[in-house]
């Protein structure tokens, strides 16, 4: 096949892709125009970009069964709690719940994200602390261990986790490990790497084995032990998350939860496990034990992905921003917001709210990094304050509002997390937890450099060009 014939075939396919984008996909206009420009002005490159990153037309068909089964499992609980929150005369014992009632109702209606109480939350910002707690919980497991991670690397930490799981499986503990095919394979974690676990009787599930598709990945980071202890946050499993990778020290955020919210993490795990393996052990008491009274923190576990009609986590972020009266502190490795998020932050800052955004000082994905700086620059005029974290790599995905409510989880502040990946966050309403998260943010300020309006305007022409090119490609998805 000559080059001319191949080029003609690519042009024809690009035209078909363009027709699909315009008439069959429900992309927002900005993303649609970006894809059309790439397909027509960069034909060969655009063809391969769309092949790997686009093709949203099949999304609803691919995940319609998952969406309907999720709704069926959750419908009965939803109806009962919705009546409670829709009644504005009802008052709650926790003042933060009344203060953020509208945000809670939004997430309940949008995502069947039930409000749970009597939770105790432990906050971790260092990998050593988080994984020490995870290993301790695994060692204490008596009935089951359920792990769901985007990345489980075949390195020292990854092998230690697999070995710990295998030991518990040999003791008769039920072990289920769910990982994303693309994320884990990138770290050398093939099914062969988990043979110790499967030989011991543990079960593994591989989410979306089509590794050539960059979209629709399971980006969640969830662990549930005996239905009584749960973990959620930004840490994957690998040496990088202990600061032993090329990016150096690692700053992340995770919650250890004991209480009613663990049942929601358990349900989230089972819904994903059922989608991957077809198996669902059912709502048996040993998987959903009575949670007990561990604390007072109200929590909603919020999920989003291509199987959700809207963008629940993003809309939860926006509602929290709109509810702020004093401060909004955000940490994220990737800051590529859409117009709705940008407007919410700008309006909050112009209204006198102390809005601060922290991103890494170094990129792990250069295009996303330069695009992040571009979007940061748009907000400086409105009074938003921005910082680059200088002590290694910042991977936390958090927001805390007025030191009273916020979110910790796997969702970044970008289009991929908002619309394309499967994500899970814990939204909390508790001044004690909020104060702890705000304190961690302020401590990080001492290790950061502020991006002032003057310094941003003084950036070099080369940096401006990188930002412009990266921003051009940012809507693709």
Active site residue 163: no
What lies within 8 Å, CB to CB, of 442 at 6+ separation is none
Tell me the sheet residues that pair with 426.
Answer: 301, 408
What lies within 8 Å, CB to CB, of 439 at 6+ separation is none
The catalytically annotated residue of 219, 314, 404, 466 is 219
Active site residue 221: yes
What is the rounded distance in angstroms from the CA atom of residue 50 to the CA atom of residue 31? 12
The catalytically annotated residue of 70, 155, 226, 240 is 226
**Residue 89 · residue 59 · CB < 8 Å:** no
Long-range contacts of 275-282 (CB under 8 A, 24+ apart): 275/65, 275/66, 275/69, 276/178, 276/205, 276/206, 276/207, 277/203, 277/205
What lies within 8 Å, CB to CB, of 284 at 6+ separation is none
Neighbours of 183 (CB within 10 A): 22
The catalytically annotated residue of 402, 414, 430, 444 is 402
What is the rounded distance in angstroms from the CA atom of residue 270 to the CA atom of residue 275? 8
Q: Tokens for 471?
A: 């921003």
Q: Tokens for 49?
A: 């970009």
DSSP tag of 33? H
The catalytically annotated residue of 221, 294, 314, 319 is 221
Active site residue 402: yes
Q: Tokens for 2?
A: 């000559």
DSSP tag of 154? S
What is the rounded distance in angstroms from the CA atom of residue 326 to the CA atom of residue 175? 45
What is the rounded distance in angstroms from the CA atom of residue 134 to the CA atom of residue 137? 5
The catalytically annotated residue of 395, 430, 444, 466 is 395
Long-range contacts of 350-353 (CB under 8 A, 24+ apart): 350/382, 350/383, 353/324, 353/325, 353/326, 353/327, 353/328
The catalytically annotated residue of 66, 314, 397, 404 is 397
DSSP tag of 420? I
Active site residue 395: yes
**Which positions are annotated as active-site residues?**
219, 221, 226, 395, 397, 402
């Amino acid at each position: 096949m000559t080059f001319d014939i191949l080029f003609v075939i690519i042009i024809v396919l690009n035209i078909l892709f363009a027709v699909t984008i315009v008439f069959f996909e429900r992309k927002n206009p900005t993303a649609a125009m970006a894809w059309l420009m790439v397909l027509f002005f960069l034909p060969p490159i655009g063809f391969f970009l769309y092949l790997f990153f686009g093709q949203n037309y099949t999304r609803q068909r691919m995940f319609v069964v998952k969406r309907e089964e999720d709704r069926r499992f959750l419908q009965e609980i939803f109806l009962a709690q919705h009546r409670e929150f829709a009644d504005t005369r009802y008052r709650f014992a926790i003042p933060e719940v009344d203060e953020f009632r509208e945000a809670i109702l939004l997430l309940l209606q949008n995502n069947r994200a039930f409000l749970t109480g009597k939770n105790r939350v432990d906050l971790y910002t260092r990998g050593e602390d988080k994984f020490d707690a995870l290993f301790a919980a695994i060692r204490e497991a008596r009935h089951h261990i359920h792990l769901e991670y985007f990345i489980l690397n075949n390195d020292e930490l990854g092998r230690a986790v697999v070995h710990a799981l295998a030991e518990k499986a040999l003791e008769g503990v039920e072990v289920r490990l769910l990982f994303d095919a693309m994320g884990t394979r990138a770290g050398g974690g093939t099914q062969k790497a988990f043979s110790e676990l499967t030989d011991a009787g543990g079960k593994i599930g591989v989410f979306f084995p089509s590794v050539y598709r960059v979209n629709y990945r399971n980006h969640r980071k969830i662990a549930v032990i005996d239905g009584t202890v749960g973990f959620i946050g930004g840490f994957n499993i690998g040496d990088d998350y202990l600061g032993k990778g090329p990016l150096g020290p690692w700053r992340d955020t995770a919650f250890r939860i004991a209480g009613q919210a663990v049942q929601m993490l358990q349900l989230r795990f089972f819904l994903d496990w059922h989608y991957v393996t077809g198996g669902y052990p059912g709502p048996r008491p040993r998987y959903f034990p009575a949670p007990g009274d561990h604390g007072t923190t109200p929590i909603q576990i919020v999920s989003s992905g291509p199987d959700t009609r809207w963008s629940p986590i993003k809309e939860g972020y926006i509602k929290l921003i709109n509810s702020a009266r004093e401060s909004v502190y955000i940490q994220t490795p990737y800051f590529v917001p859409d117009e709705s998020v940008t407007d919410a932050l700008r309006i909050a800052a112009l209204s006198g709210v102390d809005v601060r955004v922290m991103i890494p000082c170094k990129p792990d994905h250069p295009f996303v990094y330069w695009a992040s700086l571009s979007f940061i620059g748009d907000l400086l005029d409105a009074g938003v304050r921005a910082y680059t974290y200088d002590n290694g790599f910042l991977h936390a995905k958090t927001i805390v509002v007025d030191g009273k409510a916020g979110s910790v989880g796997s969702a970044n502040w970008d289009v991929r997390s908002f619309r394309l990946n499967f994500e899970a966050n814990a939204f909390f309403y508790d001044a004690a937890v909020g104060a702890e998260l705000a304190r961690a943010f302020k401590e990080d300020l001492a290790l950061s450099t502020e991006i002032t309006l003057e310094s941003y305007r003084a950036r070099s022409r080369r940096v401006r060009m990188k930002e412009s090119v990266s921003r051009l490609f940012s809507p693709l998805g």
